[in-house]
């Protein structure tokens, strides 16, 4: 069994603080994740003026605009993220939520793009992402079969490498809603690699997903689940990140190779001792 590509979804759990972002990047590297992922939005495009003007108390002010702007990194922060990830030798990329943000990310020459579950229904956006030609992770949360069909058709027509990521868009997700068997169904239907993007508490469901030979595994991460933010409660803290990667290594090691009839050298002295009475 091949180890899946491990993505630590920082998203907006940095709360607009580049120092928190850097701590999460370092923890991701130290716990053997392959990449960190962020979210990029042009607030004025993603949200209407009416929504942005709604009163909302947050650490950054008392309107939804204040809250959204407070969570958004600008070029200066992304330059620092790019430099720091290069220094640590860990991949990074981001899920863009609009065309401006998608084009903004081009300047960093990233390996990957990501279609967030919310964006899979936007045909024009899918066309634009597929036109970039970068390998793309496509999350399938909140999606009908037609939504997935349309996305796959676009990426195949554009000759753009992609993989689907089975996802349930609840925060945190209840275990009974995971339906991991869907991973195999997606593989059969679309003939592509399939990963898992999890929003559950703990690591058990993510580890269970390994039995379906997932190509990638994405989990939200945080310094502390009690921090401000809607994604924090569905995120892994550093201890959980370490538990996941260590348990995953053991899981894959334990799967091993077919060995019917093979006696390990380590077993030979045990067999001699325990079978000594048999003539």
Express as a percent the part of the chain with pLDDT over 90. Answer: 99
Six-digit token pair at 217?
A: 């595994």
Pairing of strands 194-198, 162-167: parallel
pLDDT at 228 over 90: yes
In this prediction, residue 279 has a pLDDT band, given cuts at 50, 70 and 90, of confident
Phi-psi region of 239 (alpha: psi -120 to 50; beta: other; left: phi over 0): alpha
Do 67 and 60 touch, CB atoms closer than 8 A? yes
> pLDDT, tens digit, for every residue of 49-89?
999 999 999 999 999 999 999 999 999 999 999 999 999 99
Six-digit token pair at 229?
A: 């933010």
Burial class (CB in 10 A: 0-12, 13-18, 19+), 77: middle
How many C-beta atoms surround the C-beta of residue 156 within 10 A?
Answer: 14
Distance CA 47, CA 54 (A): 11
Distance CA 260, CA 262 (A): 6
Distance CA 46, CA 44 (A): 6
In this prediction, residue 152 has a pLDDT band, given cuts at 50, 70 and 90, of very high
To the nearest whole number, what is the mean pLDDT of the chain? 97
pLDDT at 155 over 90: yes
Distance CA 96, CA 78 (A): 13
> pLDDT, tens digit, for every residue of 3-41?
999 999 999 999 999 999 999 999 999 999 999 999 999
DSSP H helix total and E strand total for the chain: 12, 10
Q: Give the mean pLDDT of 165-186.
A: 97
Within the chain, where are the H helices?
18-30, 43-46, 49-52, 64-71, 75-88, 99-105, 123-132, 145-157, 182-190, 204-209, 238-255, 268-274
Pairing of strands 55-58, 61-63: antiparallel
What is the pLDDT at residue 36?
98
Q: Calculate Rg over the CA atoms of the chain.
A: 22
What is the pLDDT at residue 1?
87
Do 72 and 15 touch, CB atoms closer than 8 A? no
Paired residues of 220 in beta bridges: 9
> pLDDT, tens digit, for every residue of 192-213?
999 999 999 999 999 999 999 9
pTM beyond 0.85: the answer is: yes
Segments making up each domain of the chain, as ranges: 5-274
Distance CA 242, CA 246 (A): 6
- CATH superfamily entry for domain 5-274: Aldolase class I (3.20.20.70)
Do 233 and 172 touch, CB atoms closer than 8 A? yes
């Amino acid at each position: 069994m091949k180890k899946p590509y491990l993505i630590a979804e920082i998203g907006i759990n940095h709360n607009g603080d580049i120092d928190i972002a850097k701590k999460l990047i370092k923890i991701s590297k130290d716990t053997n994740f392959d990449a960190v992922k962020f979210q990029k939005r042009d607030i004025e495009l993603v949200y209407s003026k009416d929504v942005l003007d709604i009163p909302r108390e947050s650490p950054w002010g008392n309107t939804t605009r204040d809250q959204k702007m407070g969570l958004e990194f600008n070029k200066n922060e992304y330059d620092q993220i790019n430099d720091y990830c290069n220094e640590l030798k860990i991949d990074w990329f981001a899920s863009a939520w609009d065309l401006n943000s998608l084009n903004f990310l081009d300047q960093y020459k990233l390996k990957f793009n990501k279609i967030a579950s919310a964006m899979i229904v936007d045909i024009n956006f899918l066309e634009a992402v597929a036109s970039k030609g970068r390998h793309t992770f496509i999350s399938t949360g909140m999606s009908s079969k037609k939504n997935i069909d349309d996305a796959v058709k676009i990426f195949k027509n554009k000759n753009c490498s992609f993989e689907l990521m089975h996802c349930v868009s609840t925060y945190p997700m209840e275990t009974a809603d995971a339906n991991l068997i869907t991973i195999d169904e997606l593989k059969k239907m679309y003939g592509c690699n399939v990963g898992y993007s999890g929003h559950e508490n703990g690591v058990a469901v993510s580890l269970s997903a390994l039995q379906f030979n997932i190509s990638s595994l994405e989990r939200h991460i945080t310094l502390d689940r009690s921090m401000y933010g809607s994604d924090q409660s569905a995120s892994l803290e550093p201890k959980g990140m370490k538990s996941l990667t260590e348990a995953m290594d053991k899981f894959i090691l334990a799967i091993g190779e077919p060995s019917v009839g093979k006696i390990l050298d380590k077993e030979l002295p045990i067999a001699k001792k325990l079978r000594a009475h048999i003539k």
